Amino acid sequence: MEKLISYLQSIAPLSPELEKHLRSIIRKHSWQAGEFLLKPGKVCRRIIFVQTGLIRIYHMLGNRQVTDWFLKEDDICISVGSFFNQTKSKEYHITLEDCVCWGITFKQLQKTFVLHPEFLLHGMKISNRYYEALDDRSSFLKGQTPENKYEWLIGQNPDYTNRIKIADMASYLDVGERTFKAIKAEFLQKDLKRRRKPGQ
């Protein structure tokens, strides 16, 4: 929980009363790799902070899985439309690794906004960060070559190559698996050359 409290404090200071309230309602959740947190047709009941682990968000396009997002340590996991409107989700949320998370329910969040209006600022800034990240990804990936997409992905999250399956990363970048493998191999060769010292 301390990591989440620190995260919230970094957004804006929490008053002692608000911090005490949050500590009383925040709950720990643990999932093993391969478990679904959310499926289409179900309502997203809680917003969670990822302390450890990795979560994949995707939707179906015909028979094809389309990866929308990966969430790891220090990220907020939520199905935005489903959570805030309390409507049925169109997304799948699945753990790619064992996860430890902390969360509160929709009702608890709304009650907190009423009891402690200062927390509205945290909610607004967290929402802004989410949409800024989504907009940055959408803006960059649009019209880019597969090579540039891969370089962007690794630059943003270098640990993804060891934590995520090729099929999922290829889906995230909207390229075929064969293309992804070729780009990855080429990138590794270029990176190796850059790391070599002159004369070696």
Give strand pairing partners of 92.
58
Strand partners for 48? 77, 103
Query: What confidence score (pLDDT) does residue 134 get?
Result: 75
Quick one: pLDDT at residue 73?
95
pLDDT grade, residue 70 (50/70/90)? very high
Among 38, 34, 14, 36, CA closest to 26: 14
Does pLDDT of 46 surpass 80? yes
Token pair in block for residue 89: 């989700």
What tens digit of pLDDT does each residue of 116-142 get?
999 999 999 988 887 887 777 777 777
Categorize the per-residue pLDDT at 157 as very low, low, confident or very high, splitting at 50, 70 and 90: confident
* Domains in the chain: boundaries: 2-118
Calculate ∠ Cα 155-161-167, nearest 5°: 115
Structure tokens given for 22: 């949050």
2-118 maps to CATH 3.40.50.2300: no
CA torsion sign for 103, 104, 109, 112 is: negative
List % helix, strand, coil for the chain (3-state, nearest 5). Answer: 50, 20, 25
The pLDDT of residue 44 is above 80: yes
85-122 pLDDT, tens digit per residue, is 999 999 999 999 999 999 999 999 999 999 999 999 99
Comparing 28 with 126, which gets the higher pLDDT? 28
* Gap between the Cα atoms of 33 and 102, Å rounded: 17
Share of the chain above pLDDT 70, in %: 96
Among the residue ranges 58-67, 141-150, 169-178, the one predicted with the least confidence is 141-150
Confidence at residue 92, expressed as pLDDT on a 0 to 100 scale: 97
pLDDT for 197: 60
